[in-house]
Chain A
Amino acid sequence: GENVEQHPSTLSVQEGDSAVIKCTYSDSASNYFPWYKQELGKRPQLIIDIRSNVGEKKDQRIAVTLNKTAKHFSLHITETQPEDSAVYFCAASKGSGGSNYKLTFGKGTLLTVNP
């Protein structure tokens, strides 16, 4: 089955700096890669996602890049703000057919943005 590795497990940055979180996946058939943000005491929520036919996607201060050859994708947050402090999860999934709808998450990264 799919295995998603996520690094680092904790990340501390100064406000205004950039933050990068990296994930690798094992199943070359995976074709959908979402990122979720979970604030303390709250449920995970989608912040950005990318499909395998796209190499990069950007939404304001957040961007995701995908390297299918290396089976590697990354989350980039620029101009970090204290409200970006949360746990971030990457995930991988593949579409069509029965058990292929599994949604497997990485172990999470605790991001702390210091004012």
Chain B
Amino acid sequence: EADIYQTPRYLVIGTGKKITLECSQTMGHDKMYWYQQDPGMELHLIHYSYGVNSTEKGDLSSESTVSRIRTEHFPLTLESARPSHTSQYLCASKTGWSTEAFFGQGTRLTVV
């Protein structure tokens, strides 16, 4: 079934660890996004990509990095996790400039 998948759904990790949050979509979408969502609701854009080998930083400064080597895959990496990184991370994808963005179910990250 065409969808967008995020793994893991939940992650508890110690400070200083390196982590990668996975995002894959099977819809052939060229545009992909990472958002950080606070408990207070707001969706902060941290990275986006409009195609293979293209990545851009979003509006919220983030210590994470992303890569886009394959169309369907857009992983987000934190080299050294900190408690301030505790949040929910949502991945989204779309095609075309005026089309629906589809969201993954999110990864809830807790750094202890």
Contacts and interface: CB of A to CB of B under 8 A. Distances in A.
B59 interface: yes
Interface residues of B, number: 25
Interface in B83-112: 90, 92, 94, 96-98, 100-101, 103-106
A43 B90 contact: yes
Contacts of B75: none
Interface residues of A, number: 28
B41 interface: yes
Nearest to A3: B59
A46 B97 contact: no
A49 to B, nearest CB: 7
12 contacts: A1-B59, A43-B104, A44-B90, A49-B98, A93-B97, A93-B98, A95-B97, A101-B31, A102-B45, A103-B45, A104-B45, A108-B41
Interface of A: 1, 31-32, 34, 36, 43-46, 49, 51, 87, 89, 93-96, 98-105, 107-108, 110
